[in-house]
Chain A
Amino acid sequence: MISVEGLSKYYGERAAIRELTFQIASGEIVGFLGLNGAGKSTTLRILSCVLMPTEGSVTIDGLNLAEAPHEIRKRIGFLPDAPPLYDDMRVCDYLRFAAALRGVEDARMRAAVDHAVSRTGIGDYRNVRIAHLSHGFRQRVGIAQALVHRPKLVILDEPTGGLDPVQIKEMREFIRGLKGEHTVLVSSHMLSEVSQICDRCLIIHQGTLLAQGSEQQLAAELGGATAFQLELATNSDAWIAAIASVPGVTVTERTPLSDGGVTLVCASDGDSRPAVVRALVAAGADLLRLDRSAARLESVFVALTTGKREERS
């Protein structure tokens, strides 16, 4: 479905992405994973023909992006990181407009809009002005416009951004439901999201593609690296410093909990869990949970990105 060869995009002297090469088969759900500023959005904007590349070639559904961008756009539904919504329009008018732009004929218009509305669950809001919608429903309308012409390829840039946990869960289920009917490319900086939604992921860092494959494949390739999650009873800087003092261990995420505790994601070169437990006991910390398996993709991602940073430095 998508073939990308040596794709680069420069903004002046600065390379946003460098020599990306990857393929995506028809019907796959592929996650595009990277930190903020890694080059995900730039790549997706090129694939959706909003931007043109500086170098490299992109083929989508057998069409070359440089030669037939107009034809490719007919086959793509794109949701950028900020949904492209006209606040002054009603939901159904907006979807009709989006469908007509993508060449849906008048005879099929009603069915196309009805289909997009029912897929995204916005039936009760079809006559509501977009300005009056909540963030979650704005996101749904954004997805509906990407689906309204039933494109072969759906590109979603950070579709769960700003959603609450319930909406995130619904969105994940919705994206999984697109499998089969559409090829889906979804970007995220949330590892758990990509892990749960996608068949395969592409890891991008500082504009270059670090690795690609399923979660299992990537974990197998980087067997030496590990990461683990742990939960402490108190969000104490001293306890976290005790963890960080263990050689080879880095605290990569710190999420305070409502009960005063904290969840941490740590990366390490090898299995440092015994050393971390000893350090916590010595510091008098209350360790509530230590879990390695829940953070498999984290371990791959952290190992790849920190490894790359060390290489560069």
Chain B
Amino acid sequence: MKRIFLLTRRELAASFRTWSGYIIVALMLAVDALLFNAYALAGPSKLSSEVLADFFGVTSGITLLGSVFLSMRAIAEERQSGTLTLLLSSPIRDREIILGKFAAGWLVLGIFLVATLPMTALVALYGRVSVGHIAAGYLGLALVAAMGFALGVLGSALSANQVVAAVASGMMVLALTTCWLLGRVSAPPLTELTTALAWWGHFEPFCRGVVGFSNLTYFVFVAAVALFGATRVLEARRWH
């Protein structure tokens, strides 16, 4: 646990020691604010809860996109620069390396989510929304961030090239997104399967302020499988 914290602290500091962390978070915020204004606030008159639901929907997409870009350097950059050798030759377990990287990335995405709070506050100030709705939405966003970054870490473990890593994790996210579209056009029993796999179907209730155990379990499960996969990839590299 101590070594996970150590690695998380280093990764977090590395993200903000250079401009890259600030730039990515700032870009995410800019795009999010733009879409909040152009999509969530626009159109015919809406209830405050509908505006909030749209905001969470938009932000989930930005979060996933940001997680792909933030995670591509997690393992791939370490492998490229040779610093992974420092970790692999130290008494830190492979799963601790993966968890440390994951925790740091999740925290960076958490900073982004915290920075979006003024937009939510705006809706709350000029409309009527419950604290529970806001809390459920942010819980959903935190889970989406966990899933996205975990898939990103897996992509980053698979390749030494950061661009390839980003493409790999992007494809995984895209596959889980496409499942939702497939679910709308396919017939049973494929519908059940694709709907169960699609992240949007599990996130949408959070947008409406509904926290369901099965939806919560979905994100935890996908993140856990991705992190387990990343650990196994890292272990396998020692043998090849």
Interface SS majority for chain A? loop
Chain A: which residue is nearest B238 at the CB level?
A52
A-B contact count (CB 8 A): 63
Give B residues with C-beta under 8 Å from A: 3, 6, 10, 14, 17-18, 81-93, 238-240
> Can you sample 26 A-B contacts with CB below 8 Å?
A11-B240, A50-B88, A50-B238, A51-B239, A54-B239, A71-B91, A73-B90, A76-B89, A80-B82, A82-B82, A84-B81, A84-B82, A84-B86, A85-B83, A86-B14, A86-B83, A89-B10, A89-B17, A98-B90, A100-B6, A101-B3, A101-B86, A101-B87, A101-B90, A102-B90, A103-B91
- Given A52-B238, A97-B6: A84 in contact with B91 (beta carbons within 8 A): no
B90 CB → nearest A CB, Å: 4
Tell me the bound Cα distance from A145 to B84 in angstroms. Answer: 14
A169 CB → nearest B CB, Å: 26
Say which residue of B6, B14, B17, B85 sits within 8 Å of A101 (CB atoms): B6
List the A side residues contacting B6 at CB < 8 Å.
97, 100-101
Chain B: which residue is nearest A84 at the CB level?
B86
List the B side residues contacting A49 at CB < 8 Å.
88-89
Give A residues with C-beta under 8 Å from B: 11, 45, 48-52, 54, 70-71, 73-74, 76, 78, 80, 82-89, 97-98, 100-103, 145
Interface SS majority for chain B? helix
Contact B89 A78 (CB under 8 A): yes
Query: Given known contacts A52-B239, A98-B90, what 8 new A-B pairs fall within 8 Å (CB)?
Result: A49-B89, A73-B90, A86-B14, A87-B81, A89-B10, A89-B14, A98-B86, A101-B90
List the B side residues contacting A84 at CB < 8 Å.
81-86
List the B side residues contacting A85 at CB < 8 Å.
83
Contact A73 B89 (CB under 8 A): yes
Chain B: which residue is nearest A131 at the CB level?
B18
